[in-house]
Amino acid sequence: MASIPFDTLKFVKTLEAAGIPASQAEAFSAAVRDSHESVDVATKRDLKELEVSLRHDIGDLRKEMKEQELRLTIKLGTIVVVALGAFTALSKWIV
């Protein structure tokens, strides 16, 4: 995660232009800067990277599900063939 960019000098100059004494403006600026440093926020870039990663993971899962589907289809087909063979053999043996 990234920190929020904060221009302390511009902030102080804005407060001073509004009539706040320089010492108070600097104290406000330091307080805001410190609060920004302690916050862990997601940027648009962070979210974009997460989106790309999730899309990649979802693509991998879809591919894996297709492979599993093919394996299950083959197993089911094998079971059906074996069952039909067993029924055919039993029907010839019984009759």
In a domain, 1, yes or no: yes
51-91, pLDDT tens digit by residue? 999 999 999 999 999 999 999 999 999 999 999 999 999 98
Question: Does the pLDDT value for residue 1 go beyond 60?
Answer: no
How many distinct structural domains can be found in the chain? 1
18-48, pLDDT tens digit by residue? 998 988 988 988 888 877 776 677 789 999 9
Half-sphere CA count of 10, side-chain side, radius 13 A: 3
Domain span at residue 7 reads 1-41
Amino acid identity, residue 68? Q
- Whole-number pLDDT of residue 2: 52
This prediction's pTM: 0.50
In a domain, 23, yes or no: yes
